[in-house]
Amino acid sequence: RIKMAGRAQTDRLEKLRKANDQLKREAGLERIKVSEAAKSLIKFCSETKDPLVPSVWGKLDDRDNHYREKGAKCTIL
C-alpha cells in the first residue's frame, strides 16, 4: 500500500510538471488583441476570393480556384 501511494504522488508530480511546461511554452507566445485579430480576419475575408462562396464572389476563373482538380481528367463511358 505504501508503494501505491508513492506511485500516485509520482504520477501527480509528473502531471504538474507537464502542466507547468505547457504554461511556460504558452507564456512565450506572441499575443495580439482580439480587436486586432478581428480586423485582420475581416481584411483577409474581404480581400481573398473564395470559390466555395459564389454568392459573394461569383464564379471564379479556374486559375483563381485553389480547389480545382489538377492534372488530366479521365472519363470512362
Query: Distance between CA 26 and CA 20 in Å, rounded?
Result: 10
C-alpha cell at 18: 507537464
Query: Distance between CA 56 and CA 38 in Å, rounded?
Result: 20
Which pLDDT belongs to residue 21? 96
Indicate the DSSP class of residue 7. H
Which pLDDT belongs to residue 73? 66
pTM: 0.46
What digits encode the pLDDT tens for the residues 12-55?
A: 999 999 999 999 999 999 999 999 999 999 998 888 887 777 77
CB 62 within 8 A of CB 68: yes
What digits encode the pLDDT tens for the residues 51-67?
A: 777 777 777 777 766 66
